[in-house]
Amino acid sequence: MKIKIKYFSDKISPLEYIGGKSDWIDLRSAEDAVLKKGEFRLIRLGVGMELPKGYEAHVVPRSSTFKNWGLLQTNSYGVIDESYCGENDEWMVPVYATRDTEIHINDRICQFRIMEHQPAIEFEKVEALSGPDRGGFGSTGKC
């Protein structure tokens, strides 16, 4: 699959897909950012893409993002669909700082993967479900 990509910054490393090692592709900060504890900010990622019809990008933090910078992605899980592909549609990640922190240009702060859209679904209303009762939400793992 080929995807058209526009770089909004020449200071970040080009994206690289490492097949076989990981399906996720790292995204880098396209700006230096100083955040104080409790601050919110949209961090520029320096890229925009034309995703194929029927596909979307799922953007999540890297496993080291919180450890290294104390950042939480405020929407927990970002979805960028194929309609977000205009000339000025730069990808960003919304973050909340849990401590004073500094991000530098080219720091790998999040990651994404390309996924097909969910298939069409039709809901059927029923009076009862046929599976075994597991005890409700949060009950898994109880002895």
pLDDT in tens, 87-99: 999 999 999 999 9
Sheet holding 92-97, edge to edge: 40-44, 92-97, 71-73
User: Amino acid identity, residue 57?
Assistant: A
Q: What angle do CA 120, 123, 129 make, to 5 degrees?
A: 135
Name the nearest CA neighbour of 73 among 109, 45, 34: 109
pTM over 0.75: yes
Q: Give, as one character, the DSSP assignment of residue 138.
A: T
Position 133 scores a pLDDT of: 82
pLDDT in tens, 128-141: 999 888 777 776 66
Task: Tell me which residues are annotated as active site.
Answer: 81
- pLDDT < 50: residue spans in the chain: none
